[in-house]
Structure 1
Amino acid sequence: MLKKSLDDLDRNIVSALADDARISNRKIAGDLGITEGTVRSRIKRMEQEGQLHLTAVTNIDRLRSPTLAYIWIEVERSAQCDALAEQLAQVPEIGFVGKMLGRFDLLAITLVQDNAELASFLRREVTGLPGVRRTECSLGVDFVKHDYRMGRIVKVDDGDN
């Protein structure tokens, strides 16, 4: 199936859903001046093509004492990076895994309640994996802004528009 790129209307629908995933198709249609059927079919297409996935997200501001832990990982050999990233992505407590450029090869992000939980988690789920040379953690201690919709894409004007 050929995937269609998102046009302005798709992005406006996604933006409305990002603000409130429970918003009705009728409300989105009214706000955008289109039919409810258009909204429904566009959402269905974007879901089928993997461009949109609607889900519930925990609001970390409501957790007892959340600590956002950034786990920086250096791999032994660069050839192990992909496999290690895939293994980390399978760990349910890890919410983000990315291959990085710079001092570390991978970044994994999780939420923990305290340092003891983080240390136990690292020993149990990360440091023993084949290919992990070393880890370093950074802890988020004060949330100035946390936008769970981090998927917004910054559009760069390349001069062709």
Structure 2
Amino acid sequence: MTRRSLDEIDRQIVAQLSTDARTSNRQIASDLGVTEGTVRARIKRMEEEKQIRITAVTNIDRFRNGSLAYIWIEVERSYQVREVASELARITELGFVGEMLGRSDILAITMVRSNEHLAEFVHQRISGLPGVRRTESTLGVNFVKHDYRMARIVS
């Protein structure tokens, strides 16, 4: 299957859906001056080619009983980064796992109820994984801006 790049109409469709994924194809078509069938076909293609995924997103601003925990992970050997990251990605409680450049090799993000919950999670689920040398954790305490659409590519 060949993947095409997103053209201007695709990007406009994605922009509208990223604001409100419930926007109807009819409304998007009207706003863009194309047919509803065009919008439907383009959304279907982008989903099939895994260029977009339409899903509900938790509004982190509404969580009062939890904190966003950033877990910075250093691996023993550089060749282990991908393997450790893949193992972390299997942990359902982690909402983000990424290979990083800089001081740490991997960043994992999750929600925790308390400092104790974070410590327990890190010690029981992460520190003991083969290849993990050390971890450092930080808690987000006040979110000035949280854009759930952060996956947008800056133009």
Identify whether the pair has TM-score above 0.5, normalized to the shorter chain: yes
2:43 maps to which residue? 43
Partner deviation per Cα, 1:66-119 (whole Å, 9 max, x = no partner): 211110000001111101000111111111111111111111111112111101
The two structures have a TM-score, normalised by structure 2, of 0.97
How far off its partner does 1:64 sit? Answer: 2.5
Aligned residues: 155
Is residue 17 of structure 1 aligned with residue 17 of structure 2? yes
2:70 maps to which residue? 70
1:107 maps to which residue? 107
How far off its partner does 1:48 sit? Answer: 0.6
1:5 maps to which residue? 5
- Contact 1:60-1:66 at 8 Å conserved across structures: no
Measured in 2, the distance between the counterparts of 1:98 and 1:32 equals 35
Is residue 31 of structure 1 aligned with residue 31 of structure 2? yes
Partner deviation per Cα, 1:23-59 (whole Å, 9 max, x = no partner): 1000100111111000000000000101011111111
How far off its partner does 1:65 sit? Answer: 2.6
2:89 maps to which residue? 89
How much is the aligned-residue C-alpha RMSD, in angstroms? 0.8
2:135 maps to which residue? 135
The two structures have a TM-score, normalised by structure 1, of 0.94
> Tell me, which stretches of 5 or more residues in structure 1 are unaligned?
156-161
How far off its partner does 1:148 sit? Answer: 1.1
Q: Would you identify which runs of 4 or more consecutive aligned residues in structure 1 move more than 6 Å?
A: none
Measured in 2, the distance between the counterparts of 1:57 and 1:128 equals 31
Question: Which amino acid in structure 2 is aligned with residue 143 of structure 1?
Answer: F
The alignment-based identity, stated in percent, is 65
1:159 maps to which residue? none
Measured in 2, the distance between the counterparts of 1:51 and 1:13 equals 12
> Tell me, which stretches of 5 or more residues in structure 2 are unaligned?
none
